[in-house]
């Protein structure tokens, strides 16, 4: 298997060009070793232990779960929190949904980054490198899920987003939120296997779940996938993102760039040569000797 070249690749867009269409057509092309998390929202009790664990693990805000009443409003991730749990009132009762970076298989933020500060790692997590980042915030524009957050109040701001606990993964551990979950809502593992488990759950309990796995196709597939008992648009998910991996949108443009860079100058030179023939009306030193023929004739 030629995974190595693929994983090492510095060019997300060009890998999209090489492997994109396969990946789109058949998600089993996703490498075995890429990890992700399956979130089964039917199991979540809204205890927010994951939020606490995340805050502690990453040195961010550790919420006072018992007293802060945060479930009363729909929160977004912020420059203080990698993840939040929100409560949605649906016709099947309250549903709690964890929100964080989806770690797209083909990440728009990573393709957008002009310095590769945003990087899709071979194991799956999308991480941010402060030594490279120039703070352009193009990742925020390009992320279909609006996940990267920016510290507007800092003189040396950082981009803040979930790293899928990359450091813990390196040490062979699970992400902090998964480990903290008391109800098995979160399941960590290979993306491919997670998808199989999710399909199996829908197949075994066809009345319990809606027959859709959010993240299977959205934005070309994500490492975080969700199961739900109610349609996903009732849970604050965007269902209009399409199946196209986001780097694909700029692929054709970037592909055209080298083509333009060699063909257009040649064309312009030819045009200049054509119009120049038989015209030697450059009067002396009128500064109009755009090419050498003005002086030689």
For other proteins, the binding residues in 212-251 under the rule CB under 8 A are 238, 240-242, 246-247, 249-250
Minimum CB separation of residue 49 from other proteins in Å reads 25
Comparing CA positions, the residue from 86, 116, 115 lying closest to residue 99 is: 86
Q: Which stretch binds other proteins (CB under 8 A): 4-12, 28-36, 61-69, 93-101?
A: 4-12
Q: How far is the CB of 158 from other proteins (least distance, A)?
A: 8
152 binds other proteins (CB under 8 A): yes
Using the rule CB under 8 A, is 101 a contact of other proteins?
no
How many binding residues for other proteins (CB under 8 A)? 71
Residue (192 or 210) nearer to other proteins, CB: 210
**Least CB distance to other proteins at residue 14 (A):** 7
Interface with other proteins in residues 254-283 (CB under 8 A):
254, 257, 260-261, 264-265, 268-269, 271-272, 275-276, 279, 281
When binding is defined by CB under 8 A, the residue of 89, 91, 207, 287 that contacts other proteins is: 287
For the segment 34-53, give every residue that binds other proteins (CB under 8 A): none
- Rg (C-alpha) for the chain, rounded Å, is 25
Helix (H, G, I), strand (E, B) or coil at 91: coil
Residue corresponding to tokens 């797209």: 104
Mention every residue, 6+ apart, whose C-beta is less than 8 A from residue 12.
106, 107, 110, 111, 120, 247
Q: Is there a contact between 84 and 97 (Cβ–Cβ < 8 Å)? A: no
When the beta carbons of 40 and 248 are compared against other proteins, the nearer one is 248
- Smallest separation (angstroms) from other proteins to the CB of 134: 5
Q: Which of 151, 167, 196, 216 binds other proteins (CB under 8 A)?
A: 151
In the complex with other proteins, the residue whose CB is nearer, 121 or 142, is 142
Of 111 and 178, nearer to other proteins (C-beta) is 111
Residues 172, 225: Cα–Cα separation, whole Å: 21
Angle formed by the axes of helices 12-25 and 248-276, to 10°?
130
The nearest distance, CB 297 to other proteins, in angstroms, is 14
Site string for other proteins, 128-147 (x = CB under 8 A): --xxxxxxxxx-xxx-x-x-
**Shortest Å distance, C-beta 271 to other proteins:** 6
| Biggest CA-to-CA distance, the chain | 89
Nearest approach in angstroms of CB 81 to other proteins is 12
Residues 6+ apart with CB under 8 A from 231: 210, 212
Closest CA to 107 of 129, 88, 126: 126
User: Interaction with other proteins in 162-221: which residues (CB under 8 A)?
Assistant: none
Q: Binding of other proteins at residue 5 (CB under 8 A)?
A: no
Q: What is the Cα–Cα distance from 160 to 56, expressed in whole angstroms?
A: 15
Positions 64 through 93 that interact with other proteins (CB under 8 A): 76, 78-79
Burial class (CB in 10 A: 0-12, 13-18, 19+), 82: buried
Judge contact between 176 and 20, C-beta under 8 A.
no
- Which residue in 1, 4, 10, 297 binds other proteins (CB under 8 A)? 10
Contacts of 61 (CB under 8 A, 6+ apart): 55, 80, 81
Element (H, E) at 95: strand 93-99
């Amino acid at each position: 298997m030629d995974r190595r070249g693929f994983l090492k690749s510095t060019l997300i867009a060009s890998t999209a060009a090489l492997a994109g269409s396969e990946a789109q057509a058949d998600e089993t092309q996703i490498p075995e070793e890429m990890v992700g998390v399956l979130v089964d929202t039917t199991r979540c009790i809204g205890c927010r232990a994951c939020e606490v664990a995340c805050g502690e693990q990453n040195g961010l805000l550790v919420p006072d779960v018992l007293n802060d009443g945060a479930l009363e409003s729909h929160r977004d991730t912020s420059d203080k929190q990698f993840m939040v749990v929100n409560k949605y009132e649906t016709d099947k009762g309250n549903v709690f949904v964890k929100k964080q970076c989806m770690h797209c298989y083909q990440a728009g933020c990573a393709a957008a980054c002009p310095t590769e500060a945003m990087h899709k790692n071979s194991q799956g997590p999308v991480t941010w490198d402060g030594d490279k980042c120039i703070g352009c915030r193009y990742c925020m524009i390009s992320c279909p899920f609006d996940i990267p957050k920016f510290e507007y109040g800092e003189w040396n701001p950082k981009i803040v987003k979930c790293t899928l606990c990359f450091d813990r993964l390196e040490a062979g551990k699970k992400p902090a939120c998964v480990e903290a979950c008391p109800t098995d809502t979160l399941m960590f593992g290979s993306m491919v296997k997670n998808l199989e488990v999710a399909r199996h759950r829908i197949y075994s309990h066809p009345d319990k779940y809606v027959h859709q796995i959010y993240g299977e196709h959205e934005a070309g597939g994500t490492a975080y996938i969700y199961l739900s008992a109610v349609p996903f648009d009732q849970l604050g998910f965007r269902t209009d993102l399409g199946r196209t991996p986001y780097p694909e949108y700029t692929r054709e443009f970037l592909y055209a760039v080298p083509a333009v860079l060699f063909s257009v100058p040649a064309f312009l030179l030819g045009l200049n040569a054509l119009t120049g023939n038989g015209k030697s009306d450059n009067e002396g030193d009128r500064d109009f000797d755009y090419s050498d023929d003005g002086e030689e004739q």
